[in-house]
Amino acid sequence: MKMVQPELDEGIPLEKVKEFSLEDLLGMAIKAEIGARRFYESLAERIGIEELKRKIEWLAGEEKKHEELLRRIYANTFPGKEIVFPKEHIGPELQPVARELRDVGDIVDLIRWAMKAEEIAAKFYAELEKRVDTEEKKRLMRYLSDMEWGHYYNLKAEYELLLDWEMYSQMMHVGP
Amino acid sequence: MKMVQPELDEGIPLEKVKEFSLEDLLGMAIKAEIGARRFYESLAERIGIEELKRKIEWLAGEEKKHEELLRRIYANTFPGKEIVFPKEHIGPELQPVARELRDVGDIVDLIRWAMKAEEIAAKFYAELEKRVDTEEKKRLMRYLSDMEWGHYYNLKAEYELLLDWEMYSQMMHVGP
């Protein structure tokens, strides 16, 4: 029996980052940003709570910008090279939500996995900071790490309220 | 000679939170959210960098929502009572930006103060969590604290890039 939910692929632990080349790691990062964007897009489509839907869409847009930024860093670091996406990935990788969400409990679960993924992404970029060669690239890795921490706390805030659905719906003026 | 910049009033330290009533503290929180919103609004008006301007406007909108949430908590906790805004405030209070910003260094300074204010606000709400009486209100305080941490990291990310203006303008496609 499969115990892991379909939207979250656990991946390999952060400590393994040392075993990969920078090229591989940047490829993983780009793949993770694409995965996160698709996850948020598919989640937003399935959420009826307007306020939360907008927040999730905002996150999708952020990950899109990160992907573009990483592609520029890659092109700058490995000029003329095609990006190779490694099969492995560090930390949880989010997959698109392909099922109907039955209730708020389903949303709560997905937000919790997204938090986990954002947390690992933040730590992953902090690791990448040590691996890139110029002060400029280190700065960009700090930028990405901080942004993912921002997402983490933003999701954590929503998560906290969603745990008490009655209050959430009242506070967010959901319903009649 | 005044050493403190006009946009940042240092306020009293977080430890003093014990000396005030919950009523006062909620009043301070509402006042701080209004101050933060006005600060971000006035800052956004003075920033020409489109990407950053939108982010600052987004923060202003967030603080507006927090103010409304806190007003509802206040009305619920002290029914029928007018909100009294204490003269004191815990931690730095942001004031509207009333001067022209000469260069990116001015923006960097203001972002740094906003980070400081967001950090203290996050800690302030964590303190308030201990003071409010119901699980529901504690939850809301955790929500507000997490949201302010989210703002803090979001600003920190921008701050990191703004320190290297040449790169920032390249990355954000600023200029021709």
ipTM score of complex:
0.89
Mean pLDDT of B81-85: 94
Lowest average pLDDT, out of A58-72, A140-154, B79-93, B107-121, goes to B79-93
Question: At B103, which amino acid appears?
Answer: D
User: Which residue is associated with the tokens 């002060």?
Assistant: A135
> How far B68 CA sits from the closest chain A CA (Å)?
10
The predicted-structure confidence for B116-133, as pLDDT tens digits, reads as follows 999 999 999 999 999 998
User: Which residue is associated with the tokens 């001015």?
Assistant: B106
**What are the chain A neighbours of B164 within 8 Å (beta carbons)?**
135-136, 139
User: Which residue is associated with the tokens 């679960």?
Assistant: A109
**DSSP SS3 for B9:** strand
Distance, CA of A174 to CA of A160 (rounded, Å):
17
Lowest average pLDDT, out of A42-51, A82-91, B67-76, B161-170, goes to B161-170
Q: By a Cβ cutoff of 8 Å, what residues of chain B touch chain A?
A: 69, 72, 135-136, 139-140, 142-144, 146-147, 149-154, 156-158, 160-161, 163-164, 167, 171
B154-157 long-range contacts, CB within 8 A, separation 24+: B154/A146, B154/A147, B154/A150, B154/B55, B154/B59, B155/B59, B155/B111, B155/B114, B155/B115, B155/B118, B156/A146, B156/A150, B156/B115, B157/A142, B157/A143, B157/A144, B157/A146, B157/A147, B157/A150
Position A152 confidence tier, pLDDT thresholds 50, 70, 90:
very high
The predicted-structure confidence for A70-129, as pLDDT tens digits, reads as follows 999 999 999 999 999 999 888 888 889 988 898 889 999 999 999 999 999 999 999 999
Computed from CA positions of residues A63, A68, A69, A74, in that sequence, does the dihedral angle turn out positive or negative?
positive
Q: Which residue from A153, A163, A167 is facing B146, i.e. has the nearest CB?
A: A153
Q: Do A72 and B161 touch (CB under 8 A)?
A: no
Q: Specify which residues B94 forms β-bridges with.
A: B8
Q: What's the pTM value of the predicted model, to 2 decimals?
A: 0.90
Lowest average pLDDT, out of B1-10, B50-59, B145-154, B155-164, goes to B1-10
The predicted-structure confidence for B60-76, as pLDDT tens digits, reads as follows 999 999 999 999 999 99
**DSSP SS3 for A94:** strand
**DSSP SS3 for B8:** strand
Determine what percent of chain B is predicted with pLDDT higher than 70.
94
- How high is the pLDDT of residue B173? 62
Task: Name the closest residue on chain A to residue B163, using Cα atoms.
Answer: A139
**The pairing of beta strand A8-9 with beta strand A93-94:** antiparallel
pLDDT of residue B1 exceeding 50: no
Please provide the average confidence, as pLDDT, over all residues in chain B: 90
pLDDT of residue A175 exceeding 50: no
Q: Which residue from A139, A154, A157 is facing B160, i.e. has the nearest CB?
A: A139
Enter the tokens of residue B56.
């600052």
**What are the chain B neighbours of A157 within 8 Å (beta carbons)?**
142-144, 146-147, 150
Mean pLDDT of A154-166: 92
pLDDT of residue A6 exceeding 80: no
How much of chain A is in helix, strand and coil states, percent to nearest 5? 70, 5, 25
Task: Name the closest residue on chain B to residue A157, using Cα atoms.
Answer: B143
Q: Do B167 and A143 touch (CB under 8 A)?
A: no
